[in-house]
Structure 1
C-alpha cells in the first residue's frame, strides 16, 4: 500500500459516502474515527490522507451487508471522467503500455490505494498490486475496486474490450470472493497465489489505442506534472488553490468568476485573498498558460502558432512576448532545441 500519510482529493471518500445509503449505511458512519465530516468532502481546498480513506472503507464494510463484490459495485461509480486530467492523460496514450505507465507515474493524482507496478520480465507481463498493511476485508474491497476501475478505463481505451482476456492472480483465498469477481467482471481468477497481479496478454502492451492524440496527451501530461509540482512547492494557500483550479479548467477558458465559484467564494473575496499573497488571478493564469506552452513546445513538436492558440492566445506575437519575458529565451529557440534533441536521440 502507498504511504498512509499521502494526501489526495476527498473525491473517492465522497463517492463512497454518497453510495453508502444504498447499503443502509449513513455517511457519518463511514466517517467515524477519520476526523472528517460530510461537509469536508465537498470543500475545494480539502485534502484527505490515505489512512483516512482506508478507515472510511473499513467503516463502510463494518456496517454494510457482508457479501463479496461490494468493491465491484462501488468501483462502477468510478468512471474515467471522475479522475480529471489523470484520466484524460491515460485515455490519450498511444499504446496500452503507455497508458499503464502514465497511470503508474502519476498515481498520486488518482484514487489508487495499492502500489501498482508493471512487471515486464515476467511471462506473461504482470500488472501488480501491493496492498500490504490492509486488513483482509479492506484488501478484498480495494482489489475489487481497482479491477473495476481498470475495466472502466480499458473499455474506453480498446474497442470490443473484455476482461476475459485477462487473468487475476491473487493472494485472496475466499472462493466466494473469487466467484463474485469472475461473475461480475468476467475475469478469470486464480486464488491462493503469492502476489496480487493481472496477467496481461503478450500482444496487448504494444496495441495502438484509437483515441491517441499526441497534442492532447502532452497537454494532459504537462498539467499532471504541474499538479504534482504543486504538492512540493511552497505556494501560499490561495495561490495554490487558484493555480490548481486553473490548471484543471484550462481547457474551458477559466475566468476568475468560474474559479471563484469552484472555490466557493465571491470574486471580490478571491481578488482580496490573492492580493494579500502579492499575486493576482491574471498572473496565475498567465503562468499556467506559459507552463503548458513550454511543455507543448518541448515535447509535442507543435509550431509556435499552434501552441499559442492552444494556450489561449489569439495572437502568436502576444504569446512570444509573454513567453520570452518569463523564460528569458524565445519559444522558437526552445522548439529548435527540442527538435535537435529528438533527432540526436
Structure 2
C-alpha cells in the first residue's frame, strides 16, 4: 500500500495524543499503521508539530481496517480528553462558559487544523456545532468525523456533566453496519447522510460555566496559538482567514466582499487591496473555494446536484453547471459518473 500524497493542509500533532497506545489497545501494529499512512511515530511526540491532514485522516482509516474495528475513530474520540488536545483544548477549558468556549475554539480552529470547517450556528432555541474536512485531497473522512465529534462532545461534557447528551448527532457519511454503537456512545439519535457532521443542542446551555475557567491562561493560549501554528506570515493568514469565512458562509444570500471585510474588521477597500497584493481577488477566491467544494460534494451520491448548487451559493443550477464546465470542461453529472466508473 502506498502512502497517501501529502496535502497542503495540516493539523497539530496534539490531535493524535495517545494514538499509539490506543492502537495497541485495539490489537493493532502501531508502527505498521503509521508507516502505511506516511506518519513518522516520532512526530507524535511534539504536540505543536504540524501533521499532514491527509495522512492524519488516513491513519484512522488504516487503523480501522487493520484492527478489524470499524468504529475505531468513534472509540478513539469517546476516550479523548479535552486537555489532551493541547492548546485548542485549553482554549475551551479555560473559557468562562460553554458559549465562550465553543466560540473561542471555533475562532482558533484554523490555527489547529487547516482545510476544514468548524462553525457554531445559533438558530432559535437550538445550536449546531458543524465540523467538516473540506480539503480536496482528503477522500476518506469517516473515522476523523466520528472521532472529532467525540472530542467536541467531551469538551461540552466538561461544563454539562459526564452523562450529558446532545439532542441529535449528524454525520455526512453513510450509515455503517455497527451504527447502534454510535447511538450508545452519544446517547442520542444519530443521523447519517447529512450535509455536515454536527452536534445539535439547546441554546440555553451556552450559559453553563466551565469548571476550569482561567482567564489568564486563556489569554496566553489565545496569544500563543497564532504564533506557534500555521499560518505564520500575516499575508498568508489573511488569505486563509478569507477562505475560512467563505467556506462558512457559502450558501448564504449575503456573501460579499463587504460582508467578509466586516467580519475581518477591515474596510472593504483595504481587503481588496491586500488581496490584490497577493495576486488574487475576492471573486477569484470565491471561485476557488466553490471549485474545491464542488468536487467534494459530488463524491456524495446521496446529494442532489440542485441541492449541491445551493450549498455552493448558486441560486440556479444552470449557473453552477456553467461554472463547472468552465472549471473542468464537463458537466457536474458527467464528472460524478466518471468518478463512479473509476471506483468499479
- TM-score per shorter chain, which class? 0.5 to 0.7
What CA deviation, in whole Å up to 9, does each residue of 1:258-307 have, x standing for no partner? Answer: xxxxxxxxxxxxxxxxxxxxxxxxxxxxxxxxxxxxxxxxxxxxxxxxxx
1:18 paired residue among 16, 21, 33: 21
How far residue 53 of structure 1 moved from its aligned partner, in angstroms, is: 0.9
Q: Is the 8 A contact 1:32 1:59 kept in 2?
A: no
How far residue 101 of structure 1 moved from its aligned partner, in angstroms, is: 1.3
- Equivalent positions of 1:70-85 (< 5 A) are 70-85=72-87
> Residues 108 and 177 (structure 1 numbering): CA distance in 2 closer, same or farther, change over 3 Å?
farther
- Equivalent positions of 1:1-345 (< 5 A) are 4-13=7-16, 15-42=18-45, 46-67=49-70, 69-110=71-112, 114-121=116-123, 124-132=126-134, 134-135=138-139, 138-158=140-160, 160=161, 162-174=163-175, 176-228=177-229, 231-232=232-233
How far residue 175 of structure 1 moved from its aligned partner, in angstroms, is: 5.9
Q: Is the 8 A contact 1:14 1:41 kept in 2?
A: yes
> Residues 46 and 89 (structure 1 numbering): CA distance in 2 closer, same or farther, change over 3 Å?
closer
Q: Is the 8 A contact 1:13 1:41 kept in 2?
A: yes
Q: Is the 8 A contact 1:96 1:209 kept in 2?
A: yes
Give the distance between the partners of 2:114 and 2:74, measured in 1 at CA. 14
Give the distance between the partners of 1:46 and 1:32, measured in 2 at CA. 18
| Runs (5+) with no aligned partner, structure 2 | 1-5, 235-344
> Residues 76 and 58 (structure 1 numbering): CA distance in 2 closer, same or farther, change over 3 Å?
same
Q: Is the 8 A contact 1:113 1:142 kept in 2?
A: no
| SS at 2:179 equivalent | helix
| SS at 1:106 equivalent | helix
How far residue 95 of structure 1 moved from its aligned partner, in angstroms, is: 2.5
Q: Is the 8 A contact 1:125 1:200 kept in 2?
A: yes
User: What TM-score do you get using the length of structure 2 for normalisation?
Assistant: 0.56
Q: Is the 8 A contact 2:169 2:198 kept in 1?
A: yes
Query: Which shifted more, 49-58 or 102-111?
Result: 102-111
| SS at 2:68 equivalent | coil
> Residues 65 and 229 (structure 1 numbering): CA distance in 2 closer, same or farther, change over 3 Å?
closer
| SS at 1:105 equivalent | helix
Give the distance between the partners of 2:151 and 2:158, measured in 1 at CA. 11
| SS at 2:198 equivalent | strand
Q: Is the 8 A contact 1:20 1:26 kept in 2?
A: yes
> Residues 45 and 89 (structure 1 numbering): CA distance in 2 closer, same or farther, change over 3 Å?
closer
Larger radius of gyration: 1
Give the distance between the partners of 2:48 and 2:90, measured in 1 at CA. 22
> Residues 230 and 14 (structure 1 numbering): CA distance in 2 closer, same or farther, change over 3 Å?
same
Q: Is the 8 A contact 1:17 1:27 kept in 2?
A: yes
Give the distance between the partners of 1:143 and 1:44, measured in 2 at CA. 20
How far residue 25 of structure 1 moved from its aligned partner, in angstroms, is: 2.1
How far residue 77 of structure 1 moved from its aligned partner, in angstroms, is: 4.3
How far residue 161 of structure 1 moved from its aligned partner, in angstroms, is: 5.0
Q: Root-mean-square deviation (CA), in Å? A: 3.2
- Number of residue-to-residue matches in the alignment: 228
| Runs (5+) with no aligned partner, structure 1 | 234-345
> Residues 103 and 177 (structure 1 numbering): CA distance in 2 closer, same or farther, change over 3 Å?
farther
> Residues 197 and 155 (structure 1 numbering): CA distance in 2 closer, same or farther, change over 3 Å?
closer
> Residues 177 and 119 (structure 1 numbering): CA distance in 2 closer, same or farther, change over 3 Å?
farther
